[in-house]
């Protein structure tokens, strides 16, 4: 009985730390030559899941939407330029009557598509940066639950 009373006394006078939700993990972008991959806590995330996560932040969602528009426009311009260059080169090798002005125009379209792709990467990185900045940070003062005696008997006190 003596040990049990001592155990209860120690239990009632100690502080029990409480944590409701831990801080959310930030998203990282890893970029290779043609691919963009998203990593969170060492785990690769699909693009659709990242889009769902970013949806909660309106500014990041808008930036990600602009990034996608730049990507698709850049791909369309690049495809048109590649078609024009390929068509002129096939005409050159086929019967020798290529129009080099068109070839230069197609090459110019391909160069312009690189700038749109670069804008996609910048806006994508900016959207993830905005999302990461809006995440809840871990507080320096954790919440604690104290169990002890009060005016009315045994009581709980939650401090944070």
Cα(72)–Cα(62) distance, rounded to whole angstroms?
A: 16
Residues 142/19, Cβ–Cβ less than 8 Å: yes
Confirm whether 146 is domain-assigned.
no
Each residue's pLDDT, cut to its tens digit, for the chain (160 residues) gives 677 777 676 766 665 554 555 557 888 888 777 778 889 888 898 888 988 888 888 999 999 999 999 999 999 999 999 999 999 988 888 887 888 899 999 999 999 999 998 999 999 999 999 999 888 765 556 677 777 777 777 777 777 6
Cβ atoms within 10 Å, residue 108:
14
Confirm whether 87 is domain-assigned.
yes
Confirm whether 15 is domain-assigned.
no
Confirm whether 95 is domain-assigned.
yes
Cα(59)–Cα(62) distance, rounded to whole angstroms?
A: 5
CA 40 to chain centre: 8
Residues 40/54, Cβ–Cβ less than 8 Å: no
Q: Which domain holds residue 60?
A: 23-140
- pTM > 0.75: yes or no: no
Domain tally, the chain: 1
């Amino acid at each position: 009985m003596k040990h049990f009373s001592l155990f209860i006394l120690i239990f009632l006078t100690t502080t029990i730390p409480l944590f409701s939700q831990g801080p959310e993990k930030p998203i990282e972008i890893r970029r290779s030559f043609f691919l963009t991959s998203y990593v969170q806590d060492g785990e690769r995330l699909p693009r659709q899941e990242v889009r769902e996560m970013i949806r909660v932040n309106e500014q990041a969602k808008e930036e990600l939407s602009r990034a996608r528009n730049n990507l698709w426009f850049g791909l369309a311009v690049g495809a048109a330029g590649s078609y024009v260059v390929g068509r002129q080169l096939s005409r050159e090798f086929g019967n020798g009557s290529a129009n080099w002005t068109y070839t230069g125009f197609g090459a110019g379209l391909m160069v312009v598509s690189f700038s749109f792709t670069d804008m996609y990467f910048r806006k994508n990185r900016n959207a993830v940066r905005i999302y990461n900045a809006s995440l809840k940070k871990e507080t320096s003062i954790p919440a604690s639950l104290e169990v002890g005696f009060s005016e009315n008997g045994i009581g709980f006190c939650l401090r944070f």
